[in-house]
Amino acid sequence: MSYQQFLDRQHKAINIIFGLFVALLSLMWIATAADWLFALGWGWDRQILWLAPPMMAFAALVRFCAFAIFKFVGSNF
């Protein structure tokens, strides 16, 4: 396997993991907001309403740093 194929697979894996994480956080945020606004009684923890946006921002920062590292590694080979 060439280095480019390896880096392409790593890019794809980072994108998939980031997408799944953001989708899960979004689902939790929407469910919590609906529970809180409509008093549905689901028992979702309201802290996710203010924790989800910084968690997504940190995940985006980690993704950006991972791509910077991959670019650095790719330019050395």
pLDDT at 77 over 80: no
CB 7 within 8 A of CB 73: yes
Higher pLDDT, 46 or 3: 46
pLDDT band at 68 (very low <50, low <70, confident <90, very high): very high
pLDDT, tens only, 39-58: 999 988 899 999 999 999 99
pLDDT, tens only, 9-39: 999 999 999 999 999 999 999 999 999 999 9
Please give the distance of CA 65 from its chain centroid, rounded to a whole number: 13
In this structure, is the dihedral angle defined by the CA atoms of residues 34, 39, 45 and 47, taken in order, positive or negative? positive
Give the pLDDT score at 2: 82
